[in-house]
Amino acid sequence: MIKRDLNQTVSKRLEDNKAIIILGARQVGKTTFLANLLQGQDYLFIDGDDPLTIDLLTNANTETLRRIIGSNKIVFFDEAQRIPNIGLLTKIIIDQFKNVKVYISGSSALDISESINEPLTGRKWEYNLFPFSWNELVSHFDYLKMQQQLDQRLVFGNYPDVVLNQGDEEEYLKQLVSSYLYKDILKMAGIRKPVVLDKLLKMLAFQVGNEVALNELARALSLDKKTVDSYIQLLEKTFIVFRLQSFGRNPRKEITTKKKIYFYDNGVRNALISNFNPLSLRSDVGALWENFMVSERVKYLHYKRISTNLYFWRNKQGREIDLIEERGGKIYAFEFKYSPTKSVKIPPSFATLYESEFEVIHKGNFSEFLGG
């Protein structure tokens, strides 16, 4: 069992009566995480993928819930995005069953966020669980072994089944991309043309590390800009990709309207473009390194509950910085270079506009940046 960094954070919230909600993509280990957290305790497991369960809970009132819960003191709703009115059901349990603790896992924020935010205001702790983080792997295996596996992680990513089944990485990733990844989007968002979604994802995969223009994507897909944006929002809510906004306070000199889109997992990105070649045979090592560093940094900041605004920066002369962090009233700038061949300095135009700390993150110093 690889211990998750989120465990320590969630463990602090076990004694109050608020619901604990764990969201994340399919196959990242949400069920395993909560089962491990509840190890040694009796609990009622309610499977949201079970049609009978959905029928029983649809329009369930207090008395129906009382019969279902019985004498259980812990209720675990798994894949809760499929359970109608899960937020209202949880609110009833919290308000009417004072000694019952509720745990919820969901593979999609599509319905869960909308259905829980209002009824569970002040009644929940919500967290995201991602594929294994670099820090989790270092803690479980050891620093030296993970340094030896760095190139593999850049190519195959950190999904649990991928990490724990060396030699079968390609097969697991192909299965993940072909079946699990789109499951919630296609069923819950009513997308009629999954082939368009697949084409969009491939386009985003090829543009990792570059600015993304919605107008260009729309033209290539023969869709309108709003539809493309709504598709990307769905991909964000199902924890496949995330966006960084551009940083700037001087629109005359800086690009402030563009966005970059990253994948939460390098393996998923590479599976989409069917490229599992080793780094020595690739032309996109820089993009892989940047995606890995940004996505791993997102995990670290979330698990440590460090409130941070994340951006990238680029001016109209083409000078850029890969990652800008704004936290605690300060600005931190990071440039990602897998193997820097020369000294990299902060762009003078950025240094003139902003007081910041600047660091180049490469394969020789990245571990501390990721919490290792």
DSSP string, 117-159: TTTTTTSEEEEE--S--HHHHHHHS-HHHHHHTHHHHHHH---
Give the residue from 32, 290, 276, 49 showing the smallest Cα distance to 161.
32
Amino acid at 180: Y
Which of 109-123, 126-140, 240-254 ranks highest by mean pLDDT?
Answer: 126-140
Tell me the pTM: 0.92
Task: Judge whether residue 62 has pLDDT over 60.
Answer: yes
User: What is the percentage of the chain residues whose pLDDT exceeds 70?
Assistant: 91
pLDDT band at 15 (very low <50, low <70, confident <90, very high): confident
**What per-residue confidence (pLDDT) applies to 151?**
97
Confidence of residue 363 (pLDDT cuts 50, 70, 90): very high
pLDDT of amino acid 234: 86
- Structure confidence at residue 315 as a pLDDT band (50, 70, 90): confident
Average pLDDT, integer, range 335-352:
89
Provide the pLDDT for residue 322: 96
Q: Is the confidence at residue 303, as pLDDT, over 70?
A: yes
Cβ atoms of residues 76 and 34 within 8 Å: yes
Average of per-residue pLDDT values in the chain:
90
Query: Poorest-confidence range of 63-72, 115-124, 140-149, 261-270?
Result: 115-124
Short-list 210, 187, 176, CA closest to 26:
176
Residue 107: the pLDDT is: 80
Q: Give the pLDDT confidence of 146-189 residue by residue, as tens digits.
A: 999 999 999 999 999 999 999 999 999 998 888 666 666 666 56
Confidence at 84, pLDDT banded by 50, 70, 90: confident
Residue 109 has a pLDDT of 63
Residue 227 predicted with pLDDT over 70: yes
Residue 46 is classified by DSSP as E
The CATH code of domain 6-128 reads 3.40.50.300
pLDDT of residue 57: 93
Confidence band for 252, pLDDT divided at 50, 70 and 90: low
Residue 183: the pLDDT is 64
- What is the domain partition of the chain in residue ranges? 6-128, 134-369
CA-wise closest residue to 372 among 208, 150, 156? 150
Residue 196, pLDDT score:
83
CA distance 159 to 41: 27
Residues 6+ apart with CB under 8 A from 306: 300, 327
pLDDT at 117 (0 to 100): 67
